[in-house]
Amino acid sequence: MFTSFFEKELNRLRSKNSHNSSVSAMIKRRIEHERGTLMAFIYRYELRDKELEGMPELAGYEEVIETMITEKFRNEENNYFKEVNVESDYFEFKSFKAIERKELRGMGHRLKSALEKAGLVGRVQAIPNAKYGFIRKPQDFYLIVYPAEATEMEGFNPGGKNRAIQHEGAEEDSPCWIEVELIDKAILKDESTLLEKAKEYKFLTNKNVGDSFKKGFYMDVLEAYVKMDCFSEVKLEKGEINIFSLEGYHRYADSKEEMENLINDDKNKWELGRCTDVEYVRNLKGKLSEVDKLFSFLSLKGKIVEASNEVKVAFKKSIEEFREEVVEADKDESIKDKLKDNLKAIFQSRLSESGGKRLITFCVHNVGQALATSFRHNDSDVPFLYFDFGIPNKFNSFTKPANINMPVKEGTIIIVSHIHEDHWTRIKDDPSAYDCDWYIPDQLIRKGFQKVLCGLNQGNSKGAINMITADLAFQKGRITANNISKINPTRIAKSHHETGLTFRLFVYDTIRQENISILIAGDQDYDYVIDKQLKNLDILVATHHGGEYSWTTRCILPKPRDSNVSVIIYSYGKQNKNNHPSKEIDYRNAGWRKANEHHTAKDNNFERQILLN
């Protein structure tokens, strides 16, 4: 069933008809419900003693079980409940909020009491054996380990203790921590049942969307950062997608300190991320304003084992099919030309209502350990273009500033340099970003981000998502999508930092009163950026938050046009776990003066008034 599911899961995706939603897998310490960082946790229970004589199948008691659990966990104050499912040998309920132990304690007794009362009044068949009870059932997961990216994990330090990961000239090094995805096996066992449940999911609309979108939108994907030594007994294929099986329970820690002690001291305890179900967020309508302290972790039961070859082949095929389906829309209507036309319309000399040229504010936002840049006409409150739209995620969530002003509206263009979450997850804070036009690079897309795309056709979203597959030159600028090393053209790009986008723009600086060039590098390795993009720069938004900038020490850094006035900008969060920025000395040696550095963590937003000639 798993093979069939993944072979058909994402068919008929046409990005030109898609509407935008969001998912992101991310760990946050404090989460406001209405701001949308929500994921369905699954609580599954089975009979304590499966050998008790005369025990009927639980499916016959579906109404009683569903009523009791719904009344317990769904009300006006706690509208975080997703659904109840009752199978023959177990029942489960899903919640967008991690449920505390005290709430779960005693639930079995209350359920047993409800079943006995229903039996007495004849609503259901009385259960003949009074010795039965319920216990938590472990979940079976497929564990997905994507190709390790040492560049992304450079200096990463989730536990707060100093440690080093060597990268310079050592492309085969593995990080000490790695990001994984978890998908519950039970939901994949029967494709027809999955589709039936997806169609019944209350936040799906009657839009004319394919079955694969419904299933993808309904399915929950967990993410976690785990220590590499968790895989000491299995083989990780370098540069490959690895699929494993494991059992475990997700649990709730009472405090940040307890959580950190658990994940640092026990390799079988993994802190969990959560995904955003956009329609749930929209339907809250501000009813919930409480701050939810979520300290959720997965407690492994038993060993990690390799999945079957059949599963591996099916999963890898589904990833490739997904990418091909997104790109296929380009055959019907050229995404490249569409974006090019849009950018021309925006960046060519558009006049204000008074007849003069429109001033534009270029901004590098202070978003903590993330990146977001924007272009806004000064006679408008909302930017017309963002290049990266990120906020901090996972262990760096604490670096997010209290006030971030990044408004969007229908039709705003959002270009994502690469698909790492800290470059696009602002969408979880602002549902109106689902009405924007999104452009992403041609990269391996994880299941969590695939869930974003499956959700694009759900709800009332008006945006679209498209893929940039080649360099795009337009009047006033260029977007590069190069994935070829200049130093070693035969080297295969291995990281999302080597296959992403950069954005260079030629404008008139109203302060310096001369033409200047701006480069926003995202997290792109400079060796994978064409030389034309890197020379004679006046404003550089340094790649990778001022951290590692290449796989090789032979890489040449971008050069300032005039060291006396050219500005370099480092976007990062205070005390971030990646130790960014870490390469300021290298940039200074390349001609970028310390006096002309702008650090968003210390200096707040960087803004410059520009004109388009």
Sheet (strand 269-271) strand order: 222-227, 177-184, 139-145, 242-252, 296-306, 269-271
Taking all residues of the chain, what is their mean pLDDT, rounded to a whole number? 77
| pLDDT above 50 for 228 | yes
Over residues 163-190, mean pLDDT: 59
The pLDDT, as a whole number, for residue 497 is 92
The confidence score (pLDDT) of residue 167 equals 32
| List of residues 6+ apart from 206 with CB closer than 8 A | none
Position 588 pLDDT exceeds 60: yes
Instruction: Compare 613 and 533 and report the one with higher pLDDT.
Output: 533
Question: Given this model, what pLDDT does residue 576 score?
Answer: 93
User: Which whole number is the average pLDDT over 247-274?
Assistant: 79
Distance of alpha carbon 321 from alpha carbon 252, whole angstroms: 36
> Over the stretch 125-143, which tens digit does the pLDDT of each residue have?
777 777 788 888 999 999 9
pLDDT digits (tens, 9 = 90+) for 50-91: 777 777 888 888 999 998 888 887 765 556 677 888 988 899
Task: Look at residue 372 and give its three-state secondary structure.
Answer: strand
Cα dist. 393→31, 146, 179, 292, 408 in Å? 12, 18, 13, 16, 20
Q: In the structure, what pLDDT confidence band is assigned to residue 540 with cuts at 50, 70 and 90?
A: very high
pLDDT confidence of residue 280: 55
Q: What is the pLDDT of residue 289?
A: 33
Query: What region does 544 belong to: left with phi over 0, alpha with psi -120 to 50, or beta?
Result: left
User: Predicted confidence band at 253 (pLDDT cuts at 50, 70, 90)?
Assistant: confident
Tell me if residue 135 falls in helix, strand or coil: strand
Residue of 274 and 133 predicted with greater confidence: 133
Q: Do 82 and 69 form a contact (C-beta atoms < 8 A)?
A: no
| Confidence bin at 484 (pLDDT 50/70/90) | very high
pLDDT band at 515 (very low <50, low <70, confident <90, very high): very high
* pLDDT band at 382; cut points 50, 70, 90: very high
Contact 21, 217 (CB under 8 A): yes
The reported pLDDT for the residue numbered 499 is 93
Q: Which of 33-47, 448-462, 581-595, 597-611 has the lowest mean pLDDT?
A: 33-47
Quote the pLDDT of residue 165. Answer: 34
Percentage helix, strand, coil, to 5, in the chain?
30, 25, 45
Which has the closest alpha carbon to 376: 406, 351, 400, 417? 406
Contact in structure between 25 and 468 (CB atoms under 8 Å):
no
For residue 25, which amino acid is it?
A: A
Average pLDDT over residues 286-292: 35
pLDDT digits (tens, 9 = 90+) for 22-57: 222 222 222 222 222 345 788 899 888 877 777 788
Q: 142 - beta bridge partners?
A: 183, 245
Question: Which residue, 519, 518, 571, 525, is CA-closest to 548?
Answer: 525
Sign of CA dihedral 573, 575, 578, 582: positive
- Non-local CB neighbours of 128 within 8 Å, separated by 6+ positions: 53, 54, 55
Beta bridge partners of 504: 478, 519
| Amino acid letter, residue 331 | K
Q: Taking residues 158-174, what's their average pLDDT?
A: 38
**Is the model's pLDDT at 187 over the cut of 80?**
no
Instruction: Using the predicted structure, report yes or no on whether residue 343 has a pLDDT greater than 70.
Output: no
Percent of the chain with pLDDT over 70: 75
Identify the pLDDT of residue 141.
Answer: 92
Can you give the pLDDT at residue 120? Answer: 78
Q: What is the pLDDT of residue 352?
A: 44
In tens, the pLDDT along 562-585 reads: 999 999 999 999 999 889 999 999
- Terminal-residue alpha carbon distance, the chain: 59
Cα–Cα dist 120/114, whole Å: 10
The token duo for 476 is 């006033």
Instruction: Give the relative orientation of helices 211-218 and 191-200 as an angle to the nearest 10 degrees.
Output: 80
- For tokens 């003693």, name the residue: 49
Confidence of residue 459 (pLDDT cuts 50, 70, 90): low
Rg (CA), the chain: 25
SS3 label, residue 225: strand
3-state secondary structure of 152: coil
Q: Average pLDDT, stretch 152-177? A: 44
Locate 361 and state its tokens.
Answer: 């504010």
Is the model's pLDDT at 92 over the cut of 80? yes
Greater confidence (476 vs 64) lies with 64
Which residues sit opposite 26 in a β-bridge? Answer: 274
CA-to-CA distance for 519 and 526, rounded, in angstroms? Answer: 12
Instruction: Determine the average pLDDT of the residues in 267-295.
Output: 57
231: three-class secondary structure by DSSP: helix
